[in-house]
Amino acid sequence: MTPLPFSPGADTDPDHVETPIGFLDLARARANARKVASYARAHGLAWRPHIKTHKSRTVARIQLEAGARGLTVATLREAEVMSEVTPDLLLAYPPVGAAKLERLLRLPDDVDLKVALDAREVLEPLARAAAHAGRTVGVLVEMDMGLRRVGVQDPDALVALARAAASTEGVAFRGILFYPGHIRMSEGEQTPHLTAVAGRLSEALEALTAVRLEPEIVSGGSTPTLWRSHEIPGMTEIRSGSCIFFDREALHIGVAAPEDLAYTVLATIVSTAVPGRAVVDAGSKALANELRADRGFGVLLDHPDVVVSSLSEEHGVLDLGGSAWRPVIGERVRIVPNHVCVSVNLQDRLLASDAGTFSILPIEGRGRGPWIA
């Protein structure tokens, strides 16, 4: 690409920085990390947060400093970027295909690598590639706990795959992993679902114990069920990722309070021509198209009676019908997105606020390739 003939924008003043841009409150992120790490410690759980939420080395270091055991990643780029921050990495995604295996096995030698998978067709090429590279990759067998996305379906399949992992050169059976992503309701409604997960996990652990394949790691957890993680006996760690920033969905289900929100999108009013509405420069390419029924695509941090009622790619339409606030063109607002992870993924960089000072944070793990570095 021909270099662009412009100097880098170094403006970090939130009143003048070009919008839209992700806005990060580092003090709140630190407080969230401490709170989650403290909860986990109190219940004898490790916290290995999924960094898909932030993809930032700075934020990963905050998590590790608060007491996170290691980090969870989904992509090879995330793994590469985070291998410079911690040697304890879990790839919670099946590495399928020679290109991904090659990158995986080029991770620095000091990385204690664990991979989640649910099939021999993933295990066997991984084991061959690892053996060829002279490495041993830890395997967590992924179980389906009701989300019906990935994961072995029953204890027999779990035992068969665990045995294969335990007996194949290049890999080692380290434990099991699940993601109860089907439990998206508020705390009060979670009980029967948590009981069902605990029941399935108990069966799984019994089946493994019966064949003397005790798991070292039993990795579970999600942000919606975060504060009830201790109700699943046998789990050794949680991976909750979006709890570092939280989002409107977390507020809605009650897992976070407004003062926990660490991420918003800073945007500028660009039109007030249509009566009862105003338009900001954050659309689906900044907030992400994440509609929640009757609640729109996001809400203004400082005007909680104003929601983003419709989105196009570069326009967010604010519905002023329920508010006395009348914005003017050029005014800045901060928008709480419904789903933080996909909004961060749309930013080039973040404007970070820390004790009254502002800086620009890169999002090093964004994108897919080594080719961007």
Segment interacting with its own copies, rule: CB under 8 A, options 165-173, 223-231, 248-256, 344-352:
344-352
Q: Which is nearer to its own copies, 44 or 97 (CB)?
A: 97
Q: Which is nearer to its own copies, 45 or 311 (CB)?
A: 311
Q: Which is nearer to its own copies, 6 or 259 (CB)?
A: 6
Contact 165, 172 (CB under 8 A): yes
CA dihedral 51, 53, 57, 62 (to 10 degrees): -80
Task: Check residue 12 for interaction with its own copies (CB under 8 A).
Answer: no
Q: Which of 308, 320, 309 is nearest to 275 (CA)?
A: 320
Task: Check residue 103 for interaction with its own copies (CB under 8 A).
Answer: yes
Q: Which is nearer to its own copies, 134 or 275 (CB)?
A: 275
Q: Which is nearer to its own copies, 97 or 356 (CB)?
A: 97
Among 153, 167, 186, 195, binds its own copies (CB under 8 A): 153
Contact string (CB under 8 A) for its own copies, positions 273-312, x = contact: xxx-x-x-x--xx--xxx-------------------x-x
Task: Check residue 322 for interaction with its own copies (CB under 8 A).
Answer: no
Task: Check residue 19 for interaction with its own copies (CB under 8 A).
Answer: yes
Segment interacting with its own copies, rule: CB under 8 A, options 211-219, 229-237, 246-254, 345-353:
345-353
Query: According to CB under 8 A, which residues from 71 to 90 bind its own copies?
Result: 74-76, 80-81, 84
Task: Check residue 144 for interaction with its own copies (CB under 8 A).
Answer: yes
Q: Please, what is the minimum distance in Å from the beta carbon of residue 8 to its own copies?
A: 4
Q: Please, what is the minimum distance in Å from the beta carbon of residue 222 to its own copies?
A: 11
Task: Check residue 156 for interaction with its own copies (CB under 8 A).
Answer: no
Segment interacting with its own copies, rule: CB under 8 A, options 38-46, 69-77, 130-138, 170-178:
69-77
> How far is CA 259 from each of CA 35, 88, 120, 247, rounded to the nearest angstrom?
13, 31, 46, 11
Q: Which of 28, 27, 24 is nearest to 12 (CA)?
A: 24
Q: Please, what is the minimum distance in Å from the beta carbon of residue 110 to its own copies?
A: 13
Query: According to CB under 8 A, which residues from 186 to 225 bind its own copies?
Result: none
Q: Which is nearer to its own copies, 108 or 304 (CB)?
A: 108
Number of residues that bind its own copies (CB under 8 A): 87
Task: Check residue 9 for interaction with its own copies (CB under 8 A).
Answer: yes
Q: Please, what is the minimum distance in Å from the beta carbon of residue 41 to its own copies?
A: 28
What is the distance between the alpha carbons of residues 257 and 255, in angstroms, rounded to a whole number? Answer: 7
